[in-house]
Structure 1
Amino acid sequence: MSRSVTATLGVILGVVGLAALAVPQITTPLPTGDPFVLVVGLVLLLGAVAQVQRRRHTELDYAETPDAELAVELPTPGDDLDRRLGRLRLTRFNESERRRISDEIGDVAAETIRRRERCSPEEARRALDEGTWTDDPFAAAFFTGRVPEAPTTDRLRELLDRESPFKRRAARAVDAIERLLEPDDRRDADERPGDDDE
């Protein structure tokens, strides 16, 4: 039995049923014996079987829904600086890149000093140029360009290190800047004698 025939019969029977509820007298001329009920039941049963068969042979279409929550990888602060410092080791004589890195770290250091000490930008730059902004001689030397005022053994250790002095001092300068951002009690604990590996 086709789908359209089944639907048509269903609509007709539904309309007749609703009409019979409203006006019961209209069902009087209709046959109500067992043969009529049997025919109607068979028609409905065949229609139901046809629908079941149609559904069994129909391919299901599933909706593709996006993931509710996607993990997004974000760059870690400092990754770019690490990569650039790593490239400097491969290209030891790239002076312009060293100057750019030094200027960027210097800008951050000067702004940090200005906020920490509540001083003018000129005073912050002077502290960088004179090396008075930190107790770490290697971090200070990153901006002064002078030989670190450190024990000879520490300076020899720096020279024998596999990393270039520029890269090592840049890392020390970044660490010193981070210490400026720490509360005073934390800084005092970090700067106790014996904590410095140098």
Structure 2
Amino acid sequence: MSGRITATLGAILGVVGLVAIAVPQITTPLPAGDGIVVAVGAVLVLGAAGQIQRRRATEPEYAETPDAELAVDLPTPGDDLDRRLNRLALTRFSEAERHRLRKEVGEIAVATLQRRERCSADEAEQALAEGTWTDDPFAAAFFTGRAPEASATDRVRELLHRESPFKRRGIRAIAEIERLLGDEDD
């Protein structure tokens, strides 16, 4: 309630002040001695101190702005292939899935070899089937289906690893294809 009274009184005094500026003769009957000026000044200082104290005791309020843009989760390229390779650990003997994965990665490898070596698709497929497309025996074994031509300790280490040999060979084949693509860009 006191806020309304203060606002109303301030509005009335503001209007009277504006009128007094436009028509100064209406203020001549008002007392203008030193005592009145000191009293008005004291009231103004007390009012200002009261407002400052009220502001200090009030919690600041902040505007809540909405998020300009919501984050969107986009899939990472290759996540599907990783998920499928990881699923092979659960179903170790899924020959159909292994065949599909080998075919999909093989198509990418053939296209990469065609661009990099400037050879035909048949020549690239033959290089994959023979394992001559890379120096990595485990990557080559992914497409040949034969045991890698590596040292016995490396083959035993692969068999004792907790991931399946097919998955590890697939990962090495994909890494080798990526390396060939990287060499091609250079």
Equivalences for residues 18-167 of structure 1 within 5 A: 18-34=18-34, 36-37=36-37, 40-41=40-41, 44=44, 47-48=47-48, 51=51, 55=55, 58-64=58-64, 78=78, 80-148=80-148, 150=149, 153=152, 156-157=155-156, 160-162=159-161, 163-167=163-167
% identical aligned pairs: 66
Q: CA deviation at 1:3?
A: 1.5
Distance 1:79 1:22, change over 3 A: same
Q: CA deviation at 1:161?
A: 3.0
Kindly indicate which of the two structures has a greater share of residues assigned to helix: 2
The TM-score with structure 1 as length reference comes to 0.65
Distance 1:173 1:98, change over 3 A: same
Q: Greater shift after overlay, 152-161 or 139-148?
A: 152-161
Q: RMSD of aligned C-alpha atoms?
A: 3.9
Distance 1:51 1:147, change over 3 A: closer
Q: CA deviation at 1:52?
A: 5.2
- Give the Cα–Cα distance (whole angstroms) in 1 for the partners of residues 51 and 137 of structure 2: 86
Structure 1 unaligned segments of length 5 or more: list them. 187-198
- 8 Å CA contact 1:141, 1:169 repeated in 2: yes
Deviations 1:122-158 (A, max 9, x none): 443343234332233332221122344x256367536
- Give the Cα–Cα distance (whole angstroms) in 1 for the partners of residues 67 and 140 of structure 2: 50
Q: CA deviation at 1:48?
A: 4.5
- Give the Cα–Cα distance (whole angstroms) in 2 for the partners of residues 136 and 57 of structure 1: 74
Q: CA deviation at 1:6?
A: 1.4
The TM-score with structure 2 as length reference comes to 0.68
Counting matched residue pairs gives 183
Q: CA deviation at 1:57?
A: 6.1
